[in-house]
Amino acid sequence: MASLSTTSLSFKAPSTRISQVLRKGSSFQSVAFGRFASSTSKTSLRLQISCAAKAETVQKVSDIVKEQLALTADTPLTAESKFTALGADSLDTVEIVMALEEKFNISVEESDAQNITTIQEAADLIEDLVQKKPAA
Amino acid sequence: MAAPFTLRKIGVPPNSANLTEARRRVFDFFRAACRSIPTIMDIYNLQDVVAPSQLRFAISAQIRNNAHITDPKVIDLLLFKGMEELTDIVDHAKQRHHIIGQYVVGEGLVQNTGNKDQGRTDFLKNFYTSNYF
């Protein structure tokens, strides 16, 4: 996975989407990616740096975080914002992880949950778990 | 669908050695409670009354109510009582109106009248210790 993400760093934004499709293989249809290409233009720059999570997942995570921390609509919320910077204490972080568990129907282990500090990490972890789940 | 969560009843564990372990236990308890929420909603038919996120908020509000405590033994005792309450609820030992009245919050409930031990003045605390202050 590490080698694949470094090769995709050299691609431009539209190709990043295609390389994600190739990596993830048959579980996702390319039609779905086409749908998100236009709505996620502002997140495509970040996807060049950490290409492991779909923008849709990041958006869902951001919505849950906003609702949980009661943030106003104009608070700047990027994929790299830390929960503590947004005013969450440790209990809030656990609550966010539980809300994500419910929303995505996954089960996050405690060891994994310790390492989540930003929205991007949460989205990556969710992607991993969602992928592993149908295979189990 | 994630594997359904069952609350395993274990005996009383030994006291936490330090605040870090007590914190860990608090978060474990919170996770156990949140994972039991679908079961609770199913048992007491709360689907139309409350959303899971509101129940999560109620649980975290109660935990936050005691967030200022630093003694690990006190935290252990509070967790024990919390676990007892959670077990009662999951065992259907309570009834729907209990759950709605206690957690689907209404105004003026005892639990909502602020933190314990925080008076506006220290008058009563001094009064309890001696007559002269």
Q: Report CB contact under 8 Å: B52, A102.
A: yes
Residue of chain A whose Cα is closest to the Cα of B54: A68
Whether ipTM > 0.90 holds is no
In A16-46, which positions are buried (b, 16+ CB within 10 angstroms) versus exposed (e)?
A: bbebbeeeeeeeeeeeebeebeeebeebbeb
Q: Report CB contact under 8 Å: A91, B28.
A: no
pLDDT per residue over A34-61, tens digit each? 444 444 444 444 444 445 567 788 888 8
Active site residue A89: yes
Residue pointed to by tokens 């039609």: A31
Of A94, A102, A105, the CB nearest to B27: A94
pLDDT per residue over A71-87, tens digit each? 777 677 777 888 888 88
Instruction: Give residues with Cβ within 8 angstroms of B84, minimum separation 6.
Output: none
CA A123 to chain centre: 2
Of B35, B53, B60, the CB nearest to A91: B60
Q: Model's pTM, two decimal places? A: 0.68
pLDDT per residue over A89-100, tens digit each? 888 888 888 888
Distance set, CA A44 to CA A63, A66, A70, B55 (Å): 18, 21, 26, 36
pLDDT per residue over B18-76, tens digit each? 888 899 899 999 999 999 999 999 999 989 888 888 888 889 888 988 888 888 999 99
Helix (H), strand (E) at residue A57: helix A55-69
DSSP B120: S
